[in-house]
Amino acid sequence: MNYTTSNLMNKYQSKIITAERAAQLVKNGDKVSYGCFHTKPIAFDIALADRIASGEITKLDTSIVGTILPVPQVLLKMAEKNDTGDFRYNTSWYGPLERMLASKGVVSFAPMQFQDVIKTRTEPLWHESLRRDVAVIQCSPMDNFGNFNFGISNALTRRDMLNTPIRIVEVNTNFPVVHGGAEEHLNIDEIDYVIEGTNPEMFYMPHIDAIEEEIKIAENIIPLIKDGACLQLGIGGVPNAIGKLIAQSDLKDLGVHSEMFCDAFYDMYMSGKITNRKKRKDIGKSVFTFSLCTKETMEFMKNNPLMASYNGEYVTEYTNIKAEDNMFSINATLELDLLGQAVSETIGPVQYSGTGGALSFTWGSYESKGGTSVLCLPSTYRDKEGKLHSKITGTLSPGSVVTIPRSVVSTIATEYGVANIKGISLWARSESLINLAHPDFRDGLVKDAEKMGVWRKSNKIS
């Protein structure tokens, strides 16, 4: 490959296209991919939405792994025009925007683990819905070697683009360059068109302060973490509380192999707790596949050689998780029954989030040499009328989807304690789980357990 500046710039100039012209490449009935989270294009999205609004496009499928602000204009126009068109907005992860627009009949959820999101873009297609005709992503400007970096949204991006006939990048000068790893970029020779975008500011997560129950959960988990542990954390109050507690602790030589690089890791880096020295693979580097974070964390990741961005298959595949010694994963769940079944993606039959890497990390971390997997949840929630309900239930709410089966679940943490239910009988696990529930609901849960035949006279609640 000729890396001379003149040769690269000639190629670059020959592929420049306006957002409006790029949107014209989409035919009625096409399937368009927007990548994952931050790679969602901005200028192209507006131009394509205009075609829907004008009636030029009446049938369209778009696909993305997770949606962030700004709201995709294509999604809004699809919802607006759905009565007179045939539109689908496909995703394997529900966030606030998907939940808000789900009732419009446009958002379509595809249940799958994170590593399968990548596999569906590389294996022979077994269903027409998996086809993509145009892939458009937002990314960093071209570097001196002709590469466009995916920043903090590696996930499926490279394989998705390479397995799509028309490949378009929309460059944003504010898009961070984050080191791999692997599969963190595309080369000028691997794309068809370049849109020079409007350079909007990146989307940053607000600071999330942990509430009292989340702080207590974090305090219950911290004693389980040992020096040299390799961590996986998600988003929210509990991980942020974990990060602050670890930053103030005596723990040392921690590593990172995590689906998401979250703000808690930034806190740990700043306090010198993360070195990645004890890892079996990617020694000295923090492995992740995407990030949703504050501006401070994103600035820390930018051009940082301590980062290793990989695709989602590498990061979340069970055998790769298991291969690291002392893996310690912490994942949130929404509901847990007395049999130990964990619901992490629905509230009753209503889709709330997605499977992501939860099952893989729960299983892989437990199987890791010296590893631990923790599922955490506050013991209660309040409904719209302010009534208190238990998140630990006798049986799951009707229509709930089991994300992690009872045979895989191991350690559970609430604000009332921690219990490892792996390998113990239903009698023993019902007792352990009831003792993690809010005291106001324990007697009722005992009655549920008796009806289910998973409670003995010798069982007791604290």
Whether 177 and 303 have beta carbons less than 8 Å apart is answered as yes
Q: Which amino acid is at 106?
A: V
* DSSP 8-state code for residue 96: H
What token pair was written down for 251? 């723990």
d(Cα 344, Cα 336) in Å, to the nearest integer?
9
Burial status of residue 293 (CB atoms within 10 A of its CB: 0-12, 13-18, 19 or more): buried
Whether 402 and 396 have beta carbons less than 8 Å apart is answered as yes
Active site (annotated) includes residue 170: no
d(Cα 315, Cα 180) in Å, to the nearest integer?
12
What token pair was written down for 400? 């709930």
d(Cα 256, Cα 331) in Å, to the nearest integer?
15
* DSSP-based helix, strand, coil % in the chain, nearest 5: 30, 20, 45
Q: How many CB atoms lie within 10 A of CB 33?
A: 26
Whether 344 and 98 have beta carbons less than 8 Å apart is answered as no
d(Cα 114, Cα 95) in Å, to the nearest integer?
15
Sheet strands (E) in 200-312: 230-232, 255-256, 286-288, 307-309
From 98, 183, 259, 335, active-site residue: 259
Q: Rounded to a whole number, what is the distance in angstroms from the first to the last CA of the chain?
A: 69
Active-site residue numbers?
259
